Amino acid sequence: MKIAVLAGDGIGPEIIAQAVRVLEALRSDGLKIELEWGLLGGCAVEAAGEPFPEATRKLATDADAVILGAVGGPQYDALPRPLRPERGLLGIRKALNLFANLRPALLYPELANASTLKPEIVAGLDILIVRELTGDIYFGEPRGIEQREGQRVGFNTMVYSEAEIDRIARVAFGAARRRNRRLCSVDKMNVLECTQLWRDVVTETAEEYPDVELSHMLVDNAAMQLIRDPRQFDVMVTGNMFGDILSDEASMLTGSIGMLPSASLDENNKGLYEPIHGSAPDIAGKNVANPLATILSAAMMLRYTFDLESAAARIEGAVKKVLAEGYRTADIYEPGMKKLGTAEMGGAVLANL
C-alpha cells in the first residue's frame, strides 16, 4: 500500500509528523505500507515554482492514498492566484477526482466540556457532513476581477450539473444507510437556481433509497440549527462552499477544529486524507497544534481506502484513551487536565496504540 505524504505549510509538518509516527508504529507491527514524501502548497511554490508540481501529481496518482497536513499562509497571500497554495489543494482534489468529502463531527464524551456550547447540547453528537468537493463556485467559470464601466467587478460562477449532484447524493444516501438512515440536504433554493437543481436532483435520487428519510434545509437555517440542536442531524449533504463553512462550524461542537478529520474520495475509494483545518499560521512552529485531526485522518485512510477496519479502530481507540487519561493540547485544554505539546500528544497516542 503506497501512501503519499504531503506535509504542506504552517503547522502541516508538525501535525503530519505525528500521523506518520502512528503509521510507522503500525508498520513495525506488520502493516504493509510504503510512505513517500512530496510537496504541495507554499512549500512547493518555494521549491518548484508551483503549488502542485508535476512530481507531486505523479506521486499522488501512483499512490493508493494521500495524507496531507495543510497548505497556505500569509506569506503567500500576495502571490498571483495560480501560484497560491490553495490552488495546489484544489488542483490535487480535481486531478484525483475526489468529489466526495466526508467530514465526521464526533464528540468524544471526554471533550463535552471543551465545546463552547453547553455539554447537554452536544453530548453524544455524531454527525457526518458529506461535502461535494470538485464543483460549485470553487471551480465554476467564468471567474475573475475585471474593469467594467470604470470600476473593478469581481465575479464567480456557482454551477452544478445533475450528474455531479446525483453522484454525491448517492454517496450521502449510502452513508446514511450505514448510519441512522436520515439525510438532510442543505441548499439555498429560495434564491439560487443552481441549488434549486440541487434540491430537485437529490429528491429524484432519493427514490432509489426509500429506506432513508430525506429532508431539505436552507443553508442559513442549517447554520443556526447546528448550534441550536446539532443532534437533530445524522448525515448532511451539501455543495462545496456551504460544506466548507458548515463543517468548520460543526467542528466547534466537538471542542476544537483540531479534532476533525476528513476523507476526500473518488469513485473507487482512492482518497486524500487531511484535517479540516488550515495551516494555522498563528501557532505554527510552536509545538502547540493539536495533531489528533491528522492522526484520525490516518485512521479514516485505513478504513476507507485500505478496508482495514481493525487498524483504524486501533488508532481511534488510542485517541480515546489519551483523552480519557486527561491529556489535552492547548485548544482543548481545561483546568485540571494535563497539557501536552504537538509531539507529546503524538507520543501519547503511540503509547496507547
Annotated binding-site residues for Mg(2+) read 220, 244, 248
Structure letter (DSSP) for residue 268: T
Distance from C-alpha of 301 to C-alpha of 220, rounded to nearest angstrom: 32
- Grid coordinates representing 197 are 437543481
Say whether residue 73 binds ligand NAD (CB under 6 A).
yes
Our CB check for Mn ion shows the closer of 205 and 262 to be: 262
209 is catalytic: no
160 is catalytic: no
Number of other residues whose CB lies within 10 A of the CB of residue 207: 8
234 is catalytic: no
x-marked contacts with ligand NAD along 319-338 as a string, rule CB under 6 A: ------------x-------
Contacts of 58 (CB under 8 A, 6+ apart): none
Our CB check for ligand IPM shows the closer of 42 and 72 to be: 72
Say whether residue 274 binds Mn ion (CB under 5 A).
no
- Grid coordinates representing 78 are 500576495
Residue from 9, 187, 244, 331 carrying the catalytic annotation: 244
Our CB check for ligand IPM shows the closer of 90 and 343 to be: 90
Say whether residue 281 binds ligand NAD (CB under 6 A).
yes
- Residue set of the binding site for substrate: 93, 103, 131, 220
- Grid coordinates representing 229 are 440542536
Q: Which of 303, 337, 302 is nearest to 322 (CA)?
A: 337
DSSP of 181-239: SEEEEEE-TTT-HHHHHHHHHHHHHGGG-TTSEEEEEEHHHHHHHHHH-GGG-SEEEE-
Q: Which of 98, 162, 134, 89 is nearest to 241 (CA)?
A: 134
Shortest Å distance, C-beta 177 to ligand NAD: 28
Shortest Å distance, C-beta 278 to ligand IPM: 6
Alpha-carbon distances, residue 290 vs 157, 259, 277, 287, 320 (angstroms) = 35, 7, 10, 9, 14
Contact 107, 256 (CB under 8 A): no
> In the complex, which residues of this chain contact ligand IPM (CB under 6 A)?
72, 86, 89-90, 244, 276, 278
**Candidates 35-43, 69-77, 129-137, 244-252; binding stretch for Mn ion (CB under 5 A):** 244-252
For the chain, how many helices (H) and strands (E)? 12, 14
Alpha helices of 72-122 — where are they, by DSSP H? 85-95, 119-122
Shortest Å distance, C-beta 85 to ligand IPM: 8
Residues 259-278 contacting ligand NAD, CB under 6 A:
274, 277-278
Among 168, 280, 300, 348, binds ligand NAD (CB under 6 A): 280
Residue from 29, 220, 229, 307 carrying the catalytic annotation: 220
Phi and psi, residue 269, nearest 5°: 65, 15
248 is catalytic: yes
Which residues does residue 127 pair with via DSSP β-bridges, in sequence order? Answer: 105
327 is catalytic: no
Q: Of these partners, Mn ion, ligand IPM, ligand NAD, none, which one is at the site of residue 88 (CB under 5 to 8 Å by kind)? A: none
Site of interaction with ligand NAD (CB under 6 A): 15, 70-73, 86, 89, 257-258, 274, 277-283, 289-290, 293, 331
Active-site residues, by number, are 138, 188, 220, 244, 248
